[in-house]
Structures are given as C-alpha cells and as structure tokens.
Chain A
Amino acid sequence: MNIGRAAPPRTMPDGSSSSYLHDGYTLWSWLTSRDHKRIAILYALSITAFFFIGAVAAALMRLELVTPAADFVDADTYNRLFTAHGVIMVWMFLIPSIPSVFGNFVLPLMIGARDLAFPRLNLLSWYLYAFGGLFTIAALMLGGVDTGWTFYTPYSSVFSNTHVILTLAGVLIVGFSSILTGLNFIVTVHTLRAPGMGWMRMPLFVWAIYATSVILVLATPVLAITLLLLAAERVLHIGLFNPALGGDPLLFQHLFWFYSHPAVYIMVLPAMGVASEIIPCFARRPVFGYRFMAFAIIGIAVISFLVWGHHMFVSGQSVYASMVFSVLSFTVAVPSAIKVFNWTATLYKGSITFSAPMLYALGFVVLFLQGGLTGLFLASLAVDVHVTDTYFVVAHFHYIMVGGAVMAYLGAVHYWWPKITGRLYSEAWARTAALIIFAGFNLTFFPQYLLGYEGMPRRYHSYPDHFQALNVLSSGGAALLALGYLLPVAYLLWSLRRGARAPSNPWRASGLEWTTPSPPPQHNFDRPPDGSKPPYDYPPIGSTQK
C-alpha cells in the first residue's frame, strides 16, 4: 500500500496553511481553536503534566516503603500522598487520556469527518478540564486530602480535616468535561461517518471510543451527584451517609462505585481499541473475528454497569447482594477473554514487526490478561475476604491501569506520533524504553501480589520487617519504571526538532487517518473519503503474504 510523500509545512497558493500545526502560531490561536486536532494536543500537554505530578506522589510513597519503619513521611502525609496519587491518576490522567487525546485527534480522521459534531463543545470540555484541574492543584498546594481517592464516608463527610470540598469541586468539574466529551463522540459516530462506512466497517478503535462515551455519559453524572451530596453533607452536618444521624455509609459506596466501576472500563476500553489498531498493522493481518470484537466491546460496556458491588464485599453489604455481584463479575471476564484470544489469533502466521507500538500493544495484552485473571480471584467472595484491602488489590488494578491502559496510551502515542507531529522518532530508543517500562513495571507490581497475599494491607506506610525484601524489589522496579517513562519525553521531544519528516503512511497501515498528509491539514479531507472499504485491509489470516 501507498506510503505517501512527506508533507513539509508550506503555504498553499490560496494562502491557507498546509497543516493544522501551522494554521496560526499564537497562543491565542491554540487556546481558542475549535480544531479537534489542536484540542487533542491541549489535552495531551495537560494530562502529561498531571501524570508527572501523580507519579511524584507515587515515587514518594515507594521511597517511604523501602524501609519497614515510618521514617520518611508521617502517617498523615502518607495518607495525603496516596490520595493525591489516586485522584490525579484516575481523574486527571487515565480517564481523559486515550479518549480526549486520541479520540479527539484520530476518531474524526478514522471516520472521514472534518471535525467532531460539536467543535465548540469540545473546546468547552478542555476548558472545564483545565478549570477542574486548577481546583485539584489548589487543594494539593493547600495540603491535600487524606480520605483516599474513594472518599469513603463518614470519614470524608464528618471527621476529615483536610480540603475535601476543594478536591470534590475539582473532580466534579472534570467530570462534566468528560460527560460533554462523551456526548460529542456519540453524536459524531452516529452522524458524521463517511459515505459507505456502516457500523461493521468502522475501525475497532471507533467502536471502543463509542462504548467508552456511552459509559461516560451514563455513569459520570452519578459520580457528580454523589460528590455534591457528600459536599452538602460536609457543609450542613446532616447525615445521609453518616450512621450516627440516620444515614448509611453503604449508600455512598453504592453510588460511588456505580460510577467508579464503569470508570475503570472507561480507562481500559479505549486501550483495547488502540491494541486492535496496532496489532493488525504490525502483524500485517486483519483483526481476527471483527464482529465478536465489536460485540465484546459492547458486552464489556454493558456488564460493567452490573458489577460494582464487588468493591463492597466486606463493607457490610448483604451476603445475598454480594453473591449476585460476584456471579456478575465473573461474566465480565468472558468478553474480555474473547478479545485476548482474538488478538492472539490475529498474530497467527502474521508477518510480525516488533516495532515500538507493537511492543506496547503486545505488552498491553500480556499485562491486561494477568490483571484480568487476578480480577477473577477478587470476584470470588471467599478469596476476596482474604485479599481485599491488601496489596493484592493494588497489584491487580495497577496491572490493568498501568500495565494495560498506560502501555496502550504509550503505544498510541508512538503509533500516531508521525501523523500528529509529522516527525519520526528514533525506533531504537523507543524500543529500549518500551522494554525498560515492561521490565520496570513487572518488577514494581508483581511483588505486590505476593505482599498482598501474605497480608500486607494497602494504604499503610509502615509494615512488619518480613515484608521488606518484596517492598525493596517493588521500589527498585519503580525507579526503573520512572526511567522508562522519562525516556519517551526525551526522544519524542528531540524528534520534534531533529526527527525525519514522516510520510502520510509510515507504517503502511490501513485506515482513513493514514490517507491524509502527516500532519493533516486543518480541514482533514478535501472531499469526504470513501468509507466503504473494509477496515483492516491487510492480507487475510493464514496467508503467507508479507
């Protein structure tokens, strides 16, 4: 397939610029742009900043945990650190990451559209995100919150003396940002597809973003109202969630987890979409079982709303309800497993290149599989009683969120970097960083499974001496992981100035986004492209073609 010529920046005869990057150089032109591509970059910069703030909190925690004694920070500070880490990583980084950066940039290109359905709403979404972020930073600078990112009552509503309301305000505002983004994507996918692109011809990334958007629209408002109720209770000292005043802390937990469980699928479904783009490209085969992959995405999104009670097995929830949630939690593994099987089958007799994006995508599949399997441990009532609130849970969700979602995010960054920036990065450095991240990740988090199983509780800053060896391994791994995360910052930034100019399709990938120049012009396509070609136009599975 056609790689295409590189598109150096130049002005066209009619005065328009040849790429969205050169369509206005002032800060004002960036901050008032309705162009989905520029808004994607605004998001990319802000979430990266928050990622590093959240990472610093984690680094401080891992530093404390090198020794059993509480010798680096005191208990109160440690509580604020893990809360900051959770709040920032979940709401300021993971939830917006792939949807708001790559959903924004790539989705319209993939469906052959000029922009999202509501471009001004898109810009408003970013401003709400930035505004909410400011609240979060303010709360942090004033000393932070010590309730944990889960804000359990009655501690958060009655007894905590930290800046709960400020943090809640930040999360609330960011929540509205994500609702509007989800709304925009849903209407875009329904109404702006290129002629000929039926639902079964859409790339799986679009399916994934669509399903994510449905979850965003339906689940996030529940979080918003719950945090509002929490704030009202904290101010008025009434007891909806306070048992002393007639309330029920489990009411808060039901409402909180009704959002927060689908929220983890908001983080992982886009990652699955990214994997479904990268793996076919670098195996030179169409994805195996497209229909099942699409239906599995929808299945995961639907079932994700039915399982939230598995976070409450030991909170006092009735045993009957716990059993129901346990059974439902097992069922969500089925569509997830289908996807893992199909990614694997896509590789069969493929012509595989272990490029950096492929390393990240394959790493995603392996680590997501691991994390998913341990989810089944946690879904079993009896096992959960033993490992809940221990490092086992911490390891489980970091395997999914870091091993899964963050690796997929980095895969997406590398895969679409040439398209977004018009530059190629150093493949050698990228592969090295990917391997360092994979190694560092496993070294950090695998020991935590063992720690948790042996009984080390989570959110503790000191621990019995016999846990030290595993903790040292984990902290050492964290240092390696930090190095791995810093490397892309370096070589990607370097590529902006010194990287080779990218052709429109450097990976010989299939998909409408690769038919535009790198970087694309502001209006994406001169004419609506033909959407009737099948997605994943690679040699069929089982063929010996390269």
Chain B
Amino acid sequence: MNTASGHVDTIEDARARLGMWVFLASEIMFFGPVFLAYLYGRHAWPEAFEAASRSTDFWLGTINTAVLLSSSLFVAIALLLAQRGDLRPARRSLDVVVLLGAVFLLIKGWEYRQDWLQGLVPGRAGFHVEHAANQAAAQLFYFIYFFATLLHAVHMAIGIGLMLYCRGKLAGPKGRNSVRRLEICGLYWHFVDIVWIFLFPALYLAGRAS
C-alpha cells in the first residue's frame, strides 16, 4: 500500500499501526469517562459549572489550542518528509513540534499558577468562584478541570519524550524502523491533540455568553 508520499508499507508497518490504533482505542475509553463526569456536573449543577467555566482563562485556553493544533501539523509534515527520505528537514519539523509542545506545557503551568493565586484550586481553604451560588459544585468543576488537564499534560509530556526519541532515531543510521516509529508516535501525538480539542470547549467555553 502506498501512502501519499510514495512510501511503501511493509507487514511490520501494518502490524505496528494496528497495534497503536488498538492502544488509542483503549485511550479513548480512558479519557471518555472524564467527559461523562463533566456532563454529569453540567447536568446537575448548570449554573455553578457555567460560572466556574467563565473563571478559566479564555485567551490562554484558545492560544494553547492553536499551539497544539499547529504542533499536529508539524508532526504530519515531519512524517511526510521522513517518508520521502528528507531526514534533516524532518528533524527540523520535529524540533518545532517539541518547541510547541513545551510552549503548551509552559502556558498550562502559568495558568495553574494563576488558578492557585486566584483561589481556584479545589480542596484548599480559600476557594472561591465569582458569581457561583453553589461553591461546592464549582469546586467539582475545578476538580474535573485539574484532573483532566493534568492527565492530558502527563500524556503531552510522554508525547514530547516520544518525539525527542524519534528525532534521535532519525539522526542515527537510516532504517525503515525510524520512519515506522515516527508514524506510531505521531498517531499518539495526534490523539492527545484530539483529546484537547474536546477538553477546550468543555472547560473553557461554557457559559461565556452570559
């Protein structure tokens, strides 16, 4: 089977690809219940969840989404270049991916710091969300917020590690395995991006218009 780049698939490629997609299926089932918990909260405490959602940082969230979507572009470009045999440009592209990933985590860290200073960390004494009649339910929102974004951040960190690993392998003796590895790790990266695509509107955009 030829992909768009003219790269010819082997049976090992197909096996590895299937293995990663099965793993991603399990990851869909891993993140999914967090969204169920969110939907429960939104259903049971709509005003509190919307008020808490308004207290997240709209701009940092939107910028982070753009950063992550762009990083996915560069992963796809890196794979295309590597399949064509242009290994140095592929490595450059991966550099951009790692940079964007790091930017994402830095922005997230900054957001967490802001949340801490503004009393939005659940379980601490000074927790307060503006205009939320039910502070306990607002705490629930922030529990889900921190749980989901921390879980996502851990996956991002693993993704960055994988990209660095792939970049290192591309620099070594050229082999089919390096390109296969990049494709597999790229699939993981795109999946983590997709999780954020759903987390962003859920956590940042609810109730903004009120």
Contact = CB atoms under 8 A, between A and B. Distances in A.
B26 interface: yes
A245 B136 contact: yes
A245 B139 contact: yes
B143 A222 contact: no
Contacts of B40: 248, 251
B123 interface: yes
Contacts of A258: 33
A246 interface: yes
Given A183-B22, A246-B140, A191 B29 contact: no
Contacts of B112: none
Contacts of A186: 18, 22
A251 B144 CA distance: 14
A221 B32 CA distance: 9
A237 B36 CA distance: 20
A186 B29 CA distance: 17
A337 interface: no
Contact of A221 (B29, B45, B134): B29
A528 B34 CA distance: 45
A220 B30 CA distance: 8
A225 B26 CA distance: 11
Interface in A204-253: 217-222, 224-226, 229, 232-233, 236-240, 245-248, 251
Nearest to B138: A246
A183 B33 contact: no
Contact of B30 (A224, A248, A254): A224
B140 A187 contact: no
A187 B44 contact: no
Contacts of A240: 37, 41, 140, 143-144
B37 A229 contact: yes
A254 B37 CA distance: 11
Given A118-B19, A236-B143, A238-B143, 9 more contacts: A187-B18, A222-B33, A239-B136, A240-B37, A246-B44, A246-B140, A251-B36, A251-B37, A255-B36
4 tightest CB-CB pairs across the interface, nearest first? A221-B30, A221-B29, A236-B123, A238-B143
A291 interface: no
Contacts of A218: 25-26, 29
A365 interface: no
Nearest to B22: A183
B116 interface: no
Given A187-B19, A255-B36, A246 B134 contact: yes
A245 to B, nearest CB: 5
B209 interface: no
Contacts of B136: 239, 245-246
Interface in B76-103: none
Contacts of A254: 36
Nearest to B143: A238
B49 to A, nearest CB: 10
Interface string A514-528: 000000000000000
Interface of B: 11, 14-15, 18-19, 22-23, 25-27, 29-34, 36-37, 40-41, 44-45, 122-123, 134, 136-137, 139-140, 143-144, 147
Contact of A226 (B11, B15, B33): B33
A218 B29 CA distance: 6
30 contacts: A117-B19, A183-B22, A186-B22, A187-B15, A187-B22, A190-B18, A191-B14, A218-B25, A221-B26, A221-B30, A222-B30, A225-B30, A229-B34, A229-B37, A229-B147, A232-B143, A236-B123, A237-B123, A238-B123, A238-B140, A240-B37, A240-B41, A240-B144, A245-B136, A245-B140, A246-B139, A246-B140, A248-B44, A251-B36, A251-B40
A154 to B, nearest CB: 14
Contacts of A236: 122-123, 143
Interface string A483-522: 0000000000000000000000000000000000000000
Residue among B14, B19, B27 with the highest chain A CB neighbour number at 10 A: B19
A292 to B, nearest CB: 27
Contacts of A237: 123
Contact of B26 (A183, A226, A245, A255): A183
